[in-house]
Amino acid sequence: MLDFQEITLADKQWMQPLYDQSQFRSEEYNFTFNYLWREVLSYKVTEYKGFLVQKSDTSNPAYLYPAGSGDVAAVVEAMLQDAKDCGHDFVLYTVLAEQKALLETIFPGKFEFTRIPKYDDYIYTAESLITLAGKKLHAKRNHINRFKAENPDWTYEPITQDNIHEVILMSEEWCRINSCNSQKSLREESCAMRQALKDYFALGLDGGLIRAGGRVVAFSMGDRLNNDTYLVHLEKAFADVNGAYAIINQQFAEHNCKDYTYIDREDDSGDEGLRQAKLSYRPVMRTEKYTARWIG
């Protein structure tokens, strides 16, 4: 069997270069994403023949399509053997369109593919989120103008050692207001958010906050996904502050994403409200994802 281990901060040293070799445009190919969700989703990893192999050790185990370079067929066969040795089905998740085509070529008729739209990443051009230009984003500009009119003393600040404690307090208040402990999805997200704030500097995250009336009313954080795409991991704002979400979205993009072509704002996990919010920013594309089940 493959020698899977739990993900630690130290693993970034060997995992990141393998993500970089693949250049996949999907949240699952980012060290921070996997580190933040490792406990919730029971992620475990190993390196095999120049590839990063990851397994979600849940009641229905599945393997992330491997990242790296070399003979991917040999790696897939090792993963198949691991599944057999463990006594469960062999399922790959986050199989992108290009990888789906490759698997169909290497293993013709051996996999059954299922499209799962709720896990598609929403991809935007960095320019569109920075400028909010055009008729279709007019409402977003109006939200920001209202925020500025109602909060003339507003400021944007990078998250630093001096103000991160305020971000932590705001995140805790946000969770109380939104009853995070009463909903599974919010409870899991709050766990990832606490981890991100705890290990913010060790992970090398970029972060920014909006201050109005002297208090933090919104924050966002992310890091590089690949050579042309930036990944936004977390974004929170107080819903009763008009335009707070719109302005942190725009300001964070302006301060952190100018050197990238695209911004990945992750998936909607099947939440209809989140889906509509992501669509309202007019994504230029969505990263299609499939699961691949071995049918032999």
Strands (E) across 190-288 are located at 206-212, 215-224, 229-237, 262-264, 285-287
Q: pLDDT value at position 291?
A: 97
Q: Is the model's pLDDT at 1 over the cut of 80?
A: no
Percent residues over pLDDT 70 in the chain: 100
Q: pLDDT value at position 57?
A: 81
Nearest to 150 by CA among 210, 225, 219, 74: 210
pLDDT tens for 83-117 read: 999 999 999 999 999 999 999 999 999 999 999 99
Q: pLDDT value at position 58?
A: 78
Per-residue pLDDT averaged across 269-282, rounded?
93
The DSSP result for 7-47, as a single string, is: --GGGHHHHHHHHHHH---SGGG-HHHHHHTTTTTTEEEEE
Band of pLDDT at residue 295, cut at 50, 70 and 90: very high
Average pLDDT, rounded, for the chain: 96
Per-residue pLDDT averaged across 171-188, rounded?
91
Q: pLDDT value at position 23?
A: 96
- Tokens representing residue 60 in the block: 């229905």
pLDDT tens for 25-74 read: 999 999 999 999 999 999 999 999 999 999 998 788 999 999 999 999 99
Band of pLDDT at residue 185, cut at 50, 70 and 90: confident
Q: Is the model's pLDDT at 184 over the cut of 90?
A: no
Lowest mean pLDDT among 36-40, 135-139, 182-186, 221-225: 182-186
Residue 75 buriedness (CB in 10 A; 0-12 / 13-18 / 19+): buried
Q: Is the dihedral of CA 98, 232, 8, 42 positive or negative?
A: negative
pLDDT tens for 262-273 read: 999 999 998 899
Per-residue pLDDT averaged across 2-7, rounded?
95
Q: Is the model's pLDDT at 126 over the cut of 80?
A: yes
